Amino acid sequence: MRCDGYDVVVIGAGLVGGAIACGLARAGQRVAVLDEEDAAYRASRGNFGLVWVQGKGVGRPEYARWSRASSERWFDLSEALVEDCGLAPCYARPGGVVPALSDDELSDLDSMLAGLGQAAGNAGYEYEILDRSRIRELLPACGPEVAGGTWTPYDGQANPLKLMRGLHASLVARGADYLSGARADGIQPLPGGGFTVRTARGAISGNKVVIAAGHGSKALGAMVGLDVPVHPEHGQILVTERVAPLLDHPTLNIRQTDEGSLLLGASQEDRGFDTSVLARTSRDIAHRAVRVFPCVAALRVVRTWGALRVMTPDGFPIYDQSKAHPGAFVFTCHSGVTLAANHALEASRWVIEGRIPEEMACFSTDRFDVSQAA
Amino acid sequence: MFRRLPDPAAIVTFDFEGATFDACEGDSVAAALLANGVLAFRTTPVSGTPRGPWCLIGECHECLVEIDGEPNRQACMIEVRADMRVRRQHGARMVAGWREE
């Protein structure tokens, strides 16, 4: 072996890198995980915490299947983290609701789920169209404007901060080296195989390298011949004071945490690398939340923040291995919570085997190559 | 536990769970309760353990009390007023859901 370093160097210790590293360490690999400083862009600390399947994968059935598989595997991930470090990420899967504020919205949701059901074929796709009275059985807090909604049993939620903490504690417990303040500035492929990663804490070598660096993946990928077209999409979240259990099911934009806070989300704005909070965005989020659940109007908002989703041109993940430099992988997606179980328990194996399975080829960067598409 | 600095401010009285307490005008509710020997302001919604003020600058939300019937108020951020009615915040605030008649 040329490299006297690690089996795998994982660049990025967010939810994607953390999950991959956790899976590798659990499989007995010698792993280094490189993290940035606290001030880095961290989608993993700004996310909403849903483990969500409903509506995902329109036009890409592989993504629908992949998301759903992760929501199943989440129970195993949860168990693994508790086994490794005693930290439960508070996963629950009571099924999720998308409320509709008009009959038009409801019929759009209906046809979207019907399409996903058709695309799922023999695997089936269980969902329910909720009329005005049925949605109130599931969520009595719904206001008079709610015309109905949709439900699937596959949706759930977790505590993303506990997940992050759990992944880090688990990978350390399994012998991985977690290096903070080790921003990766360069990747050097070595002549006989393997890679040296230049970091703020010195050079670190490994037989393989996994780029899971969020927005940093673009520049790092280019160093090993991978074109990674990710861009930031701004999302803003409002957090209310803690209240007694109010919502038994998470909804796409409003959920109640295990500790009682309500999270109100999910704006989507192009603001470059600006993470600031805009009052008009908060207003729009709060306005929609109050139309769905009028009692939210009585609650105090105690925190709000903006964060940057790591988006691809088509919104689907990127899983790829460099053709020019085999052993260099890139993993990125904007659903780091939902897909955490897949990344830890499944995708980490691809790195060990040195090969991404054929059925995952649709997530390679080839799909963005215009000359190939033609 | 806490002693006041010499302070010429006027005295106001308020109600804490049925007892009448003195405070100085300008006190926060938190300061007034601490001066009267109250250390546990609330019990947490998660574990039920008793908690009291920690940061006293509006960040930590450990000092939550009920003031004049309104739950989850930050005692450190609100000035005490004469005849205010203050109670401990026990666990999570209850919120009435929407019910269509």
Per-residue pLDDT of chain B (101 residues; tens, 9 = 90+): 788 888 778 999 999 999 999 999 999 999 999 999 999 999 998 899 999 999 999 999 999 999 999 999 999 999 999 999 999 999 999 887 654 43
pLDDT of residue A39: 81
- Chain B residue nearest residue A292, CA to CA: B98
Do A49 and A159 meet the contact criterion of CB atoms below 8 Å apart? yes
CATH 3.50.50.60, chain A: domain bounds: 6-76+160-229+314-373
Measured CA distances, A320 to A24, A183, A314 (Å): 17, 22, 16
Stronger pLDDT, A205 or A4, i.e. the higher one: A205
Tell whether the model's pLDDT for residue A221 goes beyond 90: yes
Per-residue b or e along A14-46, where b marks 16 or more CB atoms closer than 10 Å to that residue's CB? bbbbbbbbbbbbbeebbbbbbbbeeebbbbbeb
Cβ atoms within 10 Å of A162's Cβ, excluding its own:
17
Residue B101 forms contact with A (CB below 8 Å)? no
User: The domain A6-76+160-229+314-373 belongs to what CATH superfamily?
Assistant: FAD/NAD(P)-binding domain (3.50.50.60)
Buried b (16+ CB within 10 A) or exposed e, A279-314: eebbeebbebbbbbbbbbeebeebebebbbbbbbee
A244 to B93: CB separation less than 8 angstroms, yes or no: yes
According to CATH, the superfamily of the domain at A231-311 is: D-Amino Acid Oxidase, subunit A, domain 2 (3.30.9.10)
Taking the domains of chain B in order of start, what are their residue ranges?
Answer: 11-90
- Distance from C-alpha of A317 to C-alpha of A326, rounded to nearest angstrom: 20
pLDDT, position B73: 96
* Global confidence as pTM: 0.92
Q: Can you point out the beta strands (E) in chain A?
A: 6-11, 31-34, 50-51, 96-100, 128-130, 148-152, 156-157, 177-179, 184-189, 195-199, 202-211, 231-242, 254-256, 261-264, 301-311, 318-321, 328-332
A246 and B98 within 8 Å at the Cβ level: the answer is: no
| A298/B99 CB distance under 8 A | no
For residue A211, the cross-strand partners are A11, A330
The CATH fold of domain B11-90 = Ubiquitin-like (UB roll) (3.10.20)
Q: Is A299 on the interface with B (CB under 8 A)?
A: yes
Decide if B46 touches A, using CB distance below 8 A.
Answer: yes
Q: Is the pLDDT of residue A26 over 70?
A: yes
Q: Inform me whether the pLDDT recorded for A3 exceeds 80.
A: no
Whether B72 and A259 lie within 8 Å, measured CB to CB: no
* Cβ-nearest to A243 among B92, B99, B100: B92
Token pair 């991985």 is found at A176
Whether B93 and A243 lie within 8 Å, measured CB to CB:
yes
Contact list in A for residue B93 (CB cut-off 8 A) is 241-244
CB contact under 8 A, A242 and B92: yes
**Residue A267 burial (10 A CB sphere; 0-12, 13-18, 19+):** buried
Q: CATH 3.30.9.10 region(s) of chain A?
A: 231-311
